[in-house]
C-alpha cells in the first residue's frame, strides 16, 4: 500500500519497522561530504543503517552524521546547527509525516513557520522544501510524497476533485500520483472518508477555515 509519509528522493535510507509505516533519512549534501555540528550523542555502530535505527527510536533525533571510515554515528537534535564541510562524513535528515526541527514558544520564533506544541511547523499555506531546508510558499523543484498534517483545518477554496469513502492513505496516494495537474494538498474527513484533492495554485492563510473532524494535508517539495 502506498504510504503517505514516503518521499521519492534518490539518495535516501528507508527503515520500515512498524506495520506500513516507514521512516526515511534523506542525505543533506548529495555530492559532497558534510556533518552537522553540535551533535547530542556519539557512538560506534557497524553500519549506516544501524546509525539510522538508533536515531529512529529517539524522539529528539532529527538527523544523523555518519563516518564510514571510523563507524562513528552522531545524533543531531537541531537542524539549525551549522553544516561543516568534511569529506569523511555524511549527514541525513530524518523524515516523518510531520516535520519539525526547532523548539519554540511563539509563532514569531519560527520565521515563516508556526509554533505547534513547542516545535516549529510550516504554516498551513507553506510547505517544506528539503533542498532549501525551510518552509516555502511554492515548490521550485517539484512536489514530493510527504505531507504536513494540519488537524481540524480545511482548505475552503475551490475547485476540488472530490472522492468519497477513502481512508487517509488512499487520499494521499491519489494526490501523490497526479502527474499532469499537480496536487498541492488535500482535505480528508476521518468520519466519512471524504477526500478533496486540490490542484496547483497559490494559497494564503485566509483560504483555510476551522473544521472539526476534517484536516488539511500540505504536500511538501521534493
SS (HEC) of 107-146: HHHHCCEEEECCEEEECCCCEEECCCCEEECCCCCCEEEE
179: Cβ–Cβ under 8 A, 6 or more apart, which residues?
A: none
The C-alpha angle with vertex 142 and arms to 137 and 146, in degrees rounded to 5, equals: 80
More confident site: 53 or 131? 53
User: 138 or 188, which is more confident?
Assistant: 188
CA neighbor of 7 nearest in space, from 29, 24, 19: 24
Contacts (Cβ under 8 Å, ≥6 apart) of 98: 121, 148, 149
- Common-topology check for domains 12-95 and 107-221: yes
Question: Any idea where the domains of the chain sit in the sequence?
Answer: 12-95, 107-221
The CATH T-level fold of domain 12-95 is: Hepatocyte Growth Factor (3.50.4)
Any idea of the CA torsion for 84, 74, 52, 221, to the nearest 10 degrees?
-30
pLDDT at 198 over 50: yes
Single pTM value for the model:
0.53
Question: Is the pLDDT assigned to residue 9 strictly greater than 60?
Answer: no
For residues 216 and 158, give the distance between their C-alpha atoms in angstroms, rounded to a whole number: 14
* Tens of pLDDT, residues 69-115: 999 999 998 777 778 888 899 888 876 544 334 556 677 666 666 66
Identify the CATH assignment for 107-221 out of 3.50.4.10, 3.90.105.10, 3.40.1280.10, 3.30.200.20: 3.50.4.10
Give the per-residue pLDDT at 78: 79
Distance CA 148, CA 151 (A): 10
How confident is the model over 25-36, as a mean pLDDT?
75
- Supply angle C-alpha 17, 25, 126, rounded to 5: 110
Amino acid at each position: 500500500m502506498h504510504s503517505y509519509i514516503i518521499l521519492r528522493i534518490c539518495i535516501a535510507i528507508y527503515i520500515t519497522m512498524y506495520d506500513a509505516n516507514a521512516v526515511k533519512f534523506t542525505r543533506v549534501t548529495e555530492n559532497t561530504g558534510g556533518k552537522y555540528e553540535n551533535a547530542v550523542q556519539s557512538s560506534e555502530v557497524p553500519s549506516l543503517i544501524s546509525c539510522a535505527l538508533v536515531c529512529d527510536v529517539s524522539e529528539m533525533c532529527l538527523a544523523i552524521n555518519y563516518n564510514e571510515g571510523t563507524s562513528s554515528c552522531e545524533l543531531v537534535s537541531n537542524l539549525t546547527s551549522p553544516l561543516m564541510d568534511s569529506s569523511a562524513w555524511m549527514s541525513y535528515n530524518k523524515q516523518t509525516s510531520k516535520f519539525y526541527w526547532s523548539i519554540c514558544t511563539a509563532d514569531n520564533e519560527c520565521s515563516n513557520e508556526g509554533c505547534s506544541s513547542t516545535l516549529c511547523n510550516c504554516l498551513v499555506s507553506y510547505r517544506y522544501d528539503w533542498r532549501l531546508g525551510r518552509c516555502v510558499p511554492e515548490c521550485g523543484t517539484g512536489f514530493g510524497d510527504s505531507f504536513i498534517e494540519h488537524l481540524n483545518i480545511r482548505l475552503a477554496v475551490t475547485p476540488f476533485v472530490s472522492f468519497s469513502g477513502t481512508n487517509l492513505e488512499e487520499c494521499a496516494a491519489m494526490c501523490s500520483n497526479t502527474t499532469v495537474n499537480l496536487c498541492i494538498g488535500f482535505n480528508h474527513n476521518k468520519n466519512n472518508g471524504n477526500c478533496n484533492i486540490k490542484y496547483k495554485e497559490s494559497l494564503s492563510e485566509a483560504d483555510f477555515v476551522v473544521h472539526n473532524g476534517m484536516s488539511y494535508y500540505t504536500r511538501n517539495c521534493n
